[in-house]
């Protein structure tokens, strides 16, 4: 019997696909290379506090997480950030803008995974360069005065830029993940848990409970070492309605049901609506309708609606990922609103909120 083992091992080895490994910089090395000085650290702290104040009900402004569906061109993203920083000053009395700097993209099967993974857009997967570009862009956006938002997909990537984040999303596919709930429990940033892809909100409610409690879990420190991390829990979380199975859930009936479910679960109802995905029925132009509907509900007295998410870029629409014909400032993932439409929409929202507060 034992004589058979070498043959079995050889057979198994012959079926294995060869793997290739590349050494990445540790988070500490990248933080040293792209540092956050005391002035910027204080600014990020203030940005986080501004977001928390809205979640806690101490600030009645509308929280708007807005920007490209994903970042594939840091130059275009920074131009967008510069424009958004100017708009943020215009609407700051009634709207708190936070910029989407999404460098990881979840894939249902396969596809481009984002700037952090494949910055050259050609399948070369130069993750060391991708992480560097991602951290530098987030630092530059925060330095412009804009709070930075991203989706946290791979927990091992979080230490590379979590010190720059004011808000983070846990996506519909990962809200149920224990690992992501543990990660959230130790973050300084506020976190929005999205409802499940089928539209169900129970997993997000469970996630908020789990993330609010202290956790002891496997993690990686900034030196790249595996550690056991003990967290204190993150009380700054909320639920994000993004629709499900192609059906929206931003309407007043759905929001009321969500609010009741959160109250029944002992949670303060803090709800953000993702104006894209199923809520817009995958039509980026309908994001405007969704935002205006949410705004009407807020103006009608629903204070549980604390914010919205919008996907916008310099130019409208999306394009295939073709390196020979890439158009500047156009999304390569989900279709986005163009800058002019986004700016007009946010100015209109701020004006309606001003009118309400003056009555």
Q: Give, for all 359 residues of the chain, the pLDDT tens digit.
A: 444 434 434 433 444 455 688 999 999 999 999 999 999 999 999 999 999 999 999 999 999 999 999 999 999 999 999 999 999 999 999 999 999 999 999 988 889 999 999 999 999 999 999 999 999 999 999 999 999 999 999 999 999 999 999 999 999 999 999 999 999 999 999 999 999 999 999 999 999 999 999 999 999 999 999 999 999 999 999 999 999 988 999 999 999 999 999 999 999 999 999 999 999 999 999 999 999 999 999 999 999 999 999 999 999 999 999 999 999 999 999 999 999 999 999 999 999 999 986 66
d(CA 254, CA 247): 11
What is the pLDDT at residue 20? 83
Structural domains of the chain, ranges and CATH numbers in brackets: 25-358 (3.20.20.70)
Q: Specify the pLDDT at position 107.
A: 86
In the chain, the N- to C-terminal Cα span, in Å, equals 87
Question: What pLDDT, on a 0 to 100 scale, did the predictor assign at position 109?
Answer: 85
pLDDT at 359: 60
Give CA–CA dist 315/23, Å, rounded: 37
Q: Which residues of 158-178 are buried (b: 16+ CB within 10 A; e: fewer)?
A: bbbbbbbbbbbbbbbebbbee
Output the 3-class SS for the chain: CHHHHHHHHHHHHHHCCCCCCCCCCCHHHHHHHCCCCHHHHHHHHHHHHHHHHHHCCCCCCEEEEEECCCCCCHHHHHHHHHHHHHHHHHHCCCEEEEEECCCCCCCCCCCCCCCCCCCCCCCCCCHHHHHHHHHHHHHHHHHCCCCEEEECCCHHHHHHCHHHCCEEEECCCCCCCHHHHHHHHCCCCEEEEECCCCCCCHHHHHHHHHHHCCEEEEEECCCCCEEEEEECCCCCEEEEECCECCECCCCHHHHHHHHHHHHHCCCCCCEEEECCHHHHCCCHHHHHHHHHHHHHHHHCCCCCEEEEEEEECCCCEECCCCCCCCCCCCECCCCEECHHHHHHHHHHHHHHHHHHHHC
309: nearest Cα among 227, 250, 223: 250
**Do residues 187 and 167 touch, judged by C-beta distance below 8 A?**
no
- Note the pLDDT of residue 18: 58
Residue 217 structure tokens: 């879990």
């Amino acid at each position: 019997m034992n004589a058979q083992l070498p043959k079995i091992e050889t057979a198994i080895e012959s079926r294995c696909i060869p793997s290739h490994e590349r050494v990445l910089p540790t988070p500490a090395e990248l933080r040293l290379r792209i540092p956050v000085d005391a002035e910027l650290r204080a600014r990020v702290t203030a940005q986080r506090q501004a977001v928390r104040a809205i979640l806690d009900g101490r600030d009645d402004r509308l929280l708007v997480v807005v920007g490209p569906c994903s970042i594939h061109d840091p130059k275009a993203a920074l131009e967008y950030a510069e424009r958004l920083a100017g708009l943020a000053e215009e609407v700051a009395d009634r709207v708190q803008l936070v910029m989407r700097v999404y460098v990881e993209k979840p894939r249902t099967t396969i596809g481009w995974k984002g700037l952090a993974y494949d910055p050259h857009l050609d399948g070369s997967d130069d993750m060391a360069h991708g992480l560097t570009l991602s951290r530098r862009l987030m630092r530059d956006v925060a330095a412009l005065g804009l709070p930075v938002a991203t989706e946290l997909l791979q927990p091992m990537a979080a230490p590379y830029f979590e010190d720059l984040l004011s808000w983070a999303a846990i996506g519909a596919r990962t809200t149920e993940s224990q690992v992501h709930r543990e990660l959230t429990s130790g973050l300084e940033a506020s976190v929005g848990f999205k409802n499940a892809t089928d539209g169900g909100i129970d997993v997000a409610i469970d996630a908020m409970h789990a993330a609010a409690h202290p956790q002891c879990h496997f993690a990686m420190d900034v030196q790249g070492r595996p550690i056991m991390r003990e967290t204190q829990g993150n009380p700054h979380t909320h639920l994000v309605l993004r629709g499900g199975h192609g059906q929206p859930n931003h309407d007043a009936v759905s929001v009321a049901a969500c609010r009741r479910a959160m109250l029944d679960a002992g949670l303060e109802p803090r709800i953000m609506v993702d104006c894209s995905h199923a809520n817009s029925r995958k039509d980026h132009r309908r994001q405007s309708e969704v935002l205006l509907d949410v705004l009407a509900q807020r103006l009608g007295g629903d204070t549980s609606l604390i914010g919205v998410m919008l996907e916008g870029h310099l130019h409208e629409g999306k394009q295939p990922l073709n390196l020979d014909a890439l158009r500047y400032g156009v999304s390569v993932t989900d279709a986005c609103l163009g800058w002019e439409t986004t700016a007009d929409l946010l100015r209109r929202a701020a004006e309606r909120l001003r009118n309400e507060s003056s009555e």
